[in-house]
């Protein structure tokens, strides 16, 4: 047996199920062995005192994407994935975003080109379907599935992106045929438009009014409707960025009834509240995202939903816009809340913030941190066991954490292109000091050591085979449950 390329010795290894001290032997970019006393290696790194987690998997981030407003977001694949790497995320699933009238094939090719040129970490795409016309679903989708795309996103709100219930059912049926996961932005579009008009008519235009313009009940209705449509077709869905206690409760009930529904929340809904928007002038625009930040009681409910398994993933929903005329202020220096691009940066700090909250401060603990930020997203989106765990045969994507290092997040630009972070001034304990992608060290002590283009596309197969709860059968007969629903 040839020697290991690298042995990482004596670290405390954390997986979604276990925490233990061992050596990791790496050969040809993969983990070859996890055992005591591995020796025969070209290089040995002493990791005693450090915690080793799998590289983070961020299953929801917007990169170099044409947004609902028609604006490009601030990041390129290079800037976004550099920031991901620095924060310990080694796999991202951004979007290939179709808008109305566009060819899905051309859209996916375009995003492939951009990612191939710029990505520093590995990636797959969720295909956004804003125009699921018959030729897109029947002619364009099947070859894209065959070339390794296994998930879709649809929007139930946003003027340029939303689809109606009938279109949604078409998408669900197509997804069922190919075994794709359908991710849903579930908010009631009519309620958002109506509330927006009411608020504007009364002169409530400041950033803080973005919060009531996306009413809580609109999220509840959107999630409920998404689950109902998915149930009609017997198609699994993932509810993206759950922000309210009531929204999580809808998913909890539906899962209890055996519905094939999964849910994620995001760092910002766990660690920030709508009070952030109550700043003088336009400053609160930095914290405008959709769904909006909510209340402290929602944070508690979301943590609980993560603990009991109602929600399975924590993503960043990284959607960066600068506080200038290319981004948040594109419609003028004093825009109303309706004119401000939705979204905030979060790719880089997702893991350090959550390590601090979950490991250093002890909320849910180290294994649950790994599960929610790496293992479960990898499983749900068909990337496991290549990604999301530390085991023989997995890619050697590893993060070495110094659990005692405290870092105060500066109020200065980070590696991404947003120009600000919503978390400036916070002190976190625990920091990713070395990051490995397929056995190559891509970050050491804050220094990026990989070039744009180092990231690889991760083809996935449809079929839901990897979904962790065991509820879905990969060989599901398409005629069976679907027929039953049509009869009922
Ligand atoms: O405000 C956000 N999250 N913008 C990104 C688009 C989306 O809905 O995920
Ligand atoms: Zn969304
Ligand atoms: Zn998003």
The residue whose CB lies within 8 Å of the most ligand 1 atoms, and thus the one to mutate among 94, 276, 290, is 290
Q: What is the per-residue pLDDT for 487?
A: 34
Residue boundaries of the structural domains of the chain: 6-54+391-448, 56-377
Please say if the pLDDT value at position 341 is more than 80: yes
pLDDT band with cut points at 50, 70 and 90 for residue 76: very high
Nearest ligand to the CA atom of 342:
1
pLDDT at 318 over 70: yes
**Per-residue model confidence as pLDDT tens digits over 360-409:** 999 999 999 999 999 999 999 999 999 999 999 999 999 999 999 999 99
In this structure, are residues 181 and 150 in contact, taking their beta carbons and an 8 Å threshold? yes
Nearest CA to 93 out of 457, 482, 469 is that of 457
Average pLDDT of span 76-87: 98
> How much of the chain exceeds pLDDT 70, in percent?
95
**pLDDT tens, residue by residue, 435-477:** 999 999 999 999 999 999 999 999 998 765 434 443 444 334 4
Task: Look up tokens 């979204």; give the residue.
Answer: 343
Q: How far apart are CA 420 and CA 435, in angstroms?
A: 23
Q: Report which protein residue has its CA nearest ligand 1's atom 2.
A: 343
DSSP string, 22-64: EEEEEETTEEEEEESS---BS-EEE-TT-EEEEPEEE--B--S
Q: Considering only residues 297 and 479, tell me which one the structure prediction assigns the higher pLDDT.
A: 297
**Residue 462: its pLDDT value, please?**
76
What residues contact 77, with CB distance under 8 A and at least 6 apart?
Answer: 63, 64, 114, 115, 117, 118, 119, 123, 452, 455
pLDDT tier for residue 204 given thresholds of 50, 70 and 90? very high
Structural domain 56-377, CATH architecture: Alpha-Beta Barrel (3.20)
Pair 387, 378: CB distance under 8 Å:
yes
The model's pTM: 0.95
Compute the distance from residue 315 Cα to the ligand 3 centre, in Å.
9
- Ligand index nearest the alpha carbon of residue 68: 1
Which band of pLDDT confidence, cut at 50, 70 and 90, is reported for residue 479? Answer: very low
Domain covering 6-54+391-448, topology = Urease, subunit C; domain 1 (2.30.40)
Spacing, Cα 273 to ligand 2 middle (Å): 18
pLDDT at 69: 83
Mutate to test the pocket of ligand 1, among 59, 207, 319 (most ligand atoms within 8 A of CB): 319
CA of 462 to the centre of ligand 1 (A): 25
Ligand nearest to the CA of 60: 3
Task: For residue 62, name the pLDDT band (cuts at 50, 70, 90).
Answer: very high
What Å distances lie between residue 358 and 157, 176, 270, 373, 468, CA to CA? 32, 36, 11, 11, 22
For a ligand 1 pocket test, name from 222, 241, 340 the mutation site with the most ligand atoms within 8 angstroms of its C-beta: 241
Residue 485's pLDDT band (cuts 50, 70, 90)? very low
Residue with the nearest Cα to atom 8 of ligand 1?
290
* Nearest alpha-carbon partner for 468 in 369, 383, 355: 383
Q: Name the pLDDT band for 130 (thresholds 50, 70, 90).
A: very high
pLDDT of residue 105: 98
Q: Give the mean model confidence (pLDDT) for residues 269-291.
A: 98
DSSP string spanning 384-445? TTTSSS-STTSB--EEEEEEEEEEEPPSS--SSSSS--TTTT-EEEEEEEEEEETTEEEEET
Q: What is the mean pLDDT of the chain?
A: 94
Q: Are 96 and 111 in contact (CB under 8 A)?
A: yes
The answer for residues whose C-beta is within 8 angstroms of residue 61's C-beta and 6 or more apart is: 80, 84, 92, 93, 94, 315, 316, 317, 318, 319, 346, 347
Residue 250 or 68, more confident: 250
CA distance 178 to 333: 46
When pLDDT is averaged across residues 53-61 and rounded to a whole number, the result is: 98
The span from the CA of 245 to the CA of 313, in Å, is 16
Residue 98 has pLDDT above 70, yes or no: yes
Sign (positive/negative) of CA torsion 464, 465, 470, 471? Answer: positive
- Report pLDDT for 463: 67
pLDDT tens digits, one per residue of 411-424: 887 899 999 999 99
Burial class (CB in 10 A: 0-12, 13-18, 19+), 279: middle
The answer, yes or no, to whether the previous bond of 385 is cis (omega within 30 of 0) is: yes
Structure confidence at residue 242 (pLDDT): 99
Q: What is the model's pLDDT at position 464?
A: 55
pLDDT of residue 411: 87
Cα distance between residue 219 and residue 363, in whole Å: 26
User: Exposure pattern of 354-365 as b/e (b: 16+ CB <10 Å)?
Assistant: bbbbbbbeebbe
69, two tokens: 């407003």
Q: What is the pLDDT of residue 413?
A: 73
């Amino acid at each position: 047996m040839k020697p290991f390329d690298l042995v990482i010795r004596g670290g405390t290894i954390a997986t979604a199920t276990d925490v233990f001290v061992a050596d990791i032997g790496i050969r040809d970019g993969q983990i070859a062995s996890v055992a005591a006393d591995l020796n025969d290696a070209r290089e040995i790194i002493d990791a005693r005192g450090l915690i080793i987690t799998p590289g983070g998997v961020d299953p929801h981030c917007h990169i170099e994407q044409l947004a609902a407003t028609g604006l490009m977001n601030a990041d390129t694949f290079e800037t976004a994935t550099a920031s991901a790497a620095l924060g310990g995320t080694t796999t991202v699933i951004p979007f290939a975003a179709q808008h109305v009238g566009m060819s899905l094939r051309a859209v996916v090719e375009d995003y492939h080109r951009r990612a191939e040129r710029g990505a520093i970490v590995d990636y797959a795409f969720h295909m956004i379907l804003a125009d699921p016309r018959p030729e897109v679903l029947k002619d364009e989708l099947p070859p894209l599935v065959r070339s390794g795309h296994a998930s879709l996103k649809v929007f139930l709100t946003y003027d340029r992106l939303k689809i109606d219930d009938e279109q949604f059912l078409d998408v669900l049926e197509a997804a069922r045929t190919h075994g794709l996961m359908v991710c849903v932005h579930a908010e009631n579009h009519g309620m958002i438009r109506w509330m927006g008009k009411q608020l504007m008519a009364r002169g409530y235009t400041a950033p803080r009014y973005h919060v009531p313009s996306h009413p809580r009940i609109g999220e509840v209705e959107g999630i409920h409707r998404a689950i109902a449509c998915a149930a009609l077709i017997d198609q699994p869905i993932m509810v993206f960025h759950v922000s309210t206690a009531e929204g999580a409760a809808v998913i909890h009930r539906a899962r209890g009834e055996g519905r094939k529904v999964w849910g994620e929340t995001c760092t910002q809904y766990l660690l920030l509240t709508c009070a952030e928007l109550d700043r003088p002038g336009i400053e609160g625009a930095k914290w405008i995202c959709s769904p909006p930040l909510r209340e402290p009681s929602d944070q508690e409910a979301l943590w609980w939903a993560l603990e009991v398994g109602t929600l399975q993933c924590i993503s960043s929903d990284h959607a960066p816009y600068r506080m200038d005329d290319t981004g948040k202020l594109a419609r003028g220096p004093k825009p109303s809340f309706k004119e401000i691009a939705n979204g905030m940066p979060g790719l880089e700090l997702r893991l350090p913030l959550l390590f601090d909250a979950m490991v250093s401060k002890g909320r849910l603990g180290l294994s649950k941190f790994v599960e929610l930020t790496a293992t479960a997203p990898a499983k749900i989106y068909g990337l496991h066991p290549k990604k999301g765990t530390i085991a023989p045969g997995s890619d050697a994507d590893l993060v070495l954490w110094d659990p005692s290092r405290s870092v105060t997040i500066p109020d200065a630009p980070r590696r991404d292109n947003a120009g600000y972070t919503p978390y400036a001034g916070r002190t976190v304990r625990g920091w990713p000091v070395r990051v490995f992608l397929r056995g190559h060290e891509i970050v050491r002590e804050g220094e990026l050591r990989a070039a744009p283009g180092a990231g690889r596309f991760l083809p996935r197969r449809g079929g839901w085979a990897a979904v962790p709860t065991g509820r879905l059968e990969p060989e599901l007969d398409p005629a069976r449950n679907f027929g039953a629903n049509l009869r009922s």
